[in-house]
């Protein structure tokens, strides 16, 4: 389904929480919401198999977020298993968070196997600017044609400039997501991937169009691996909508953000938010989703 922007929609007609900011246009009524619900329902119905080659920190949260969404996670990274397993998955998520020389060959082999089998794969370039080794690994992986790349602003800026940052903060961002919109567009154009920059506002682009998602909770930054987990959720959404990656990525980020918004209402801090985030994603219903989706076309 193609979603066409409706420039006539004004802040006066938008619902609370969905008021477009300067430079943003809304889509007609709740069409993004319906799209997000349709894709979430598809995940719940089909339980797509998502292989994750990810860092040690994120394995648990990533697998639980996938399960709560309705997807089926498989944290499988042995080089010996790739040729048997990866061609049969619905999507693959590769995350370089705790990269080592043992795992990089598995990542390359899995990305190549997925691409060869026509399965979408998604890259999370965690802390790509922390070392030359990480940067070179990521640049090599980009040649294997990811369907999507999701990183924070510092990661997307670093990947585009292939440079290490003086103000390097490791896995956390030292930039605002809005700082990296142009970099994301250029990365999308050079790789053919849909690129998402996460942050207070998430920006998603195919190199031409930019979509902004304003769901989420600032406290997510105080729970490790929430970025990793949303990248895996993006893989699940692309698994059920491989020919509409831009929409799938925007809907995944919005759904995750909504689960966090609902979770925050019940949480007392990051530890309980982690639990409520998973519960809210698992129990997310159509009404809550439709009333909270906040996705805009960004000028």
Ligand X SMILES: Cc1ncsc1CCOP(=O)(O)O
Residue 60 sits in the site that holds ligand ADP (CB under 6 A)? no
Q: Which stretch binds Mg ion (CB under 5 A): 6-14, 72-80, 227-235, 242-250?
A: 227-235
Give the x-and-dash track for 112-151 against ligand X (CB under 6 A): --------------x-------------------------
- Would you count residue 199 as binding ligand ADP (CB under 6 A)? yes
Going residue by residue from 74 to 103, which x/- string records binding to Mg ion, judged by CB under 5 A?
------------------------------
The CB-of-49 to ligand X minimum distance in angstroms stands at: 22
Task: List for the chain the helix, strand, coil content (%; round to 5).
Answer: 50, 15, 35
Give the strand pairing for 91-95 and 148-152: unpaired
Residue 127 as a binder of ligand ADP (CB under 6 A): the answer is no
Asked whether position 199 contacts Mg ion by CB under 5 A, the answer is no
Q: Considering CB under 6 A, how many residues would be counted as binding ligand X?
A: 12
By CB under 6 A, what part of segment 51-110 binds ligand X? 55, 57-58, 97-98
260: contact with Mg ion by CB under 5 A: no
Eight-class DSSP state of 49? E
Structure tokens at 37: 């619900």
Residue 72 or 95: which CB sits closer to ligand ADP?
A: 95
Q: Which stretch binds ligand X (CB under 6 A): 63-71, 84-92, 225-233, 255-263?
A: 225-233
The stretches of the chain forming alpha helices (DSSP H) are 31-46, 59-69, 79-85, 104-116, 132-142, 153-161, 181-191, 226-240, 245-266, 270-283, 286-292
CA pair distance 49, 195, nearest whole angstrom = 22
Contact between 263 and ligand ADP per CB under 6 A:
no
Q: Are 14 and 290 a contacting pair, CB within 8 Å?
A: no
* Distance, CA of 69 to CA of 50 (rounded, Å): 12
Binding at 217: pick from ligand X, ligand ADP, Mg ion, none (beta carbon under 5-8 Å per type): ligand ADP
Should residue 21 be labelled a site residue for ligand ADP when binding is judged by CB under 6 A? no
Cβ count within 10 A of residue 81:
15
> Could you give the CA distance from residue 216 to residue 198 in angstroms, rounded to a whole number?
10
Residue from 39, 107, 171, 252 touching ligand X (CB under 6 A): that is: 171
* Sheet containing 210-213, strands listed edge to edge, beginning at the edge strand earlier in sequence: 24-25, 295-298, 210-213, 202-205, 194-198, 148-152, 121-124, 91-95, 49-53, 72-74
Two tokens, residue 68 = 């709560």
Kindly tell me which of 145 and 169 has the beta carbon lying closer to ligand X. Answer: 169
For residue 200, the minimal CB distance to ligand ADP (Å) is: 4
Give whichever of 206 and 261 is closer to ligand ADP, judged by the CB atom: 261
Nearest C-alpha neighbor of 120 from the set 256, 254, 210, 237: 237
Question: Facing residues of 204 across strands?
Answer: 196, 211
Residues of this chain that interact with ligand ADP (CB under 6 A) are 152, 172-173, 198-200, 202, 216-218, 220-221, 226-227, 230, 253, 256-257
Site residues (CB under 6 A) for ligand X? 55, 57-58, 97-98, 126, 171, 224-228
């Amino acid at each position: 389904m193609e979603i066409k922007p409706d420039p006539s929609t004004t802040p006066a007609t938008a619902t609370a929480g969905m008021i477009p900011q300067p430079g943003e246009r809304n889509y007609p009524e709740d069409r993004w919401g319906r799209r997000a619900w349709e894709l979430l329902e598809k995940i719940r119905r089909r339980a797509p198999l998502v292989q994750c080659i990810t860092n040690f920190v994120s394995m648990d949260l990533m697998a639980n977020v996938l399960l709560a969404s309705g997807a089926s996670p498989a944290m499988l990274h042995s080089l010996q298993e790739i040729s048997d397993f990866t061609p049969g998955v619905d999507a693959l998520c590769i995350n370089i968070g705790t990269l080592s020389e043992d795992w990089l060959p598995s990542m390359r082999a899995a990305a190549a196997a997925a691409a060869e089998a026509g399965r979408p794969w998604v890259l999370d370039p965690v802390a790509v600017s922390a070392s030359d080794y990480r940067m070179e690994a990521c640049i090599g992986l980009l040649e294997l044609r990811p369907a999507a790349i999701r990183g924070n602003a510092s990661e997307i800026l670093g990947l585009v400039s292939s440079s290490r940052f003086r103000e390097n903060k490791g896995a956390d961002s030292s930039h605002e997501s809005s700082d990296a919109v142009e970099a994301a567009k250029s990365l999308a154009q050079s790789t053919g991937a849909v690129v998402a920059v996460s942050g207070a506002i998430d920006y998603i682009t195919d190199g031409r169009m930019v979509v902004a998602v304003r769901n989420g909770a600032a406290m997510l930054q105080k729970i490790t691996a929430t970025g990793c987990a949303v990248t895996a959720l993006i893989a699940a959404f692309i698994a059920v909508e491989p020919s509409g990656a831009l929409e799938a990525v925007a809907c995944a980020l919005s759904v995750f953000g909504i689960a966090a918004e609902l979770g925050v209402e019940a949480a007392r801090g990051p530890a309980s938010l982690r639990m409520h985030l998973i519960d809210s994603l698992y129990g997310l219903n159509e009404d809550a989703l439709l009333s909270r989706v906040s996705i805009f076309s960004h000028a």
